[in-house]
């Protein structure tokens, strides 16, 4: 394994998980959905049209923005959104093993984080913090990356991209989850 290729792969998966956390949060906010439909001149008062339009909108979000299923789709994303790297500069195996497990672990992770977050819930955290929790948890569960290595990587990413308090928050909650799971 080339460490630089793994770092590039983590950046891709983190971007995807960030987007997934954003849309996951969006799908939970009925007012945001109503506003998005309002932009297309679809109003809640249109009782015959609104429920079907809302369902169609949610299905589009779920299918187009939260679901990369194949290596072909990954290569498309890599070529058009991460074009500073060539495919051989990315640990493609890592991406394929980790990226499509957001839905598999998100509810389990939210419950675990909420057990250890004292003053707020997972849903109240910044989206980047949520994405880092998901990245850590999915990689840990799917690849069994050594916990010390993974904790260090996530904390370093948090120092770079998050608020000042995020590295301590992530580190503390991740340690508690690991301790719970190993006990």
41 dihedral zone (left: phi>0; alpha: psi -120 to 50; beta): left
Query: CATH code at 168?
Result: 1.10.940.10
**Each residue of 138-152: pLDDT tens digit?**
999 999 888 888 899
Half-sphere exposure of 168 (CA within 13 A, CB side): 3
**In 10 A of CB 62, how many CB atoms?**
14
pTM for this predicted structure? 0.79
Domain count, the chain: 1
Task: Give the range of the structural domain holding residue 44, as residue numbers without chain letter.
Answer: 3-182
Helices 30-39 and 3-27: angle between axes, nearest 10 degrees: 90
**Each residue of 5-39: pLDDT tens digit?**
888 888 888 988 888 888 777 777 777 777 777 76
pLDDT for 68 equals: 60
């Amino acid at each position: 394994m080339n460490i630089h290729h793994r770092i590039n792969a983590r950046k891709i998966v983190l971007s995807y998980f960030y987007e997934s956390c954003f849309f996951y949060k969006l799908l939970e906010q009925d007012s945001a959905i109503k506003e998005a439909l309002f932009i297309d001149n679809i109003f809640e008062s249109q009782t015959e049209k609104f429920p079907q339009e809302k369902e169609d909108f949610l299905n589009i979000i779920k299918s187009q923005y939260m679901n990369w299923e194949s290596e072909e789709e990954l290569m498309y994303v890599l070529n058009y959104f991460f074009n500073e790297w060539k495919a051989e500069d990315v640990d493609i195996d890592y991406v394929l093993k980790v990226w499509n497990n957001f839905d598999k672990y998100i509810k389990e992770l939210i419950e675990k984080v909420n057990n250890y977050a004292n003053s707020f819930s997972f849903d109240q955290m910044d989206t980047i913090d949520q994405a880092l929790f998901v990245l850590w948890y999915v990689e840990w569960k799917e690849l069994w990356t050594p916990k010390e290595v993974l904790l260090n990587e996530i904390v370093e990413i948090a120092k770079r991209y998050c608020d000042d308090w995020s590295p301590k928050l992530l580190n503390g909650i991740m340690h508690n989850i690991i301790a719970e799971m190993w006990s």
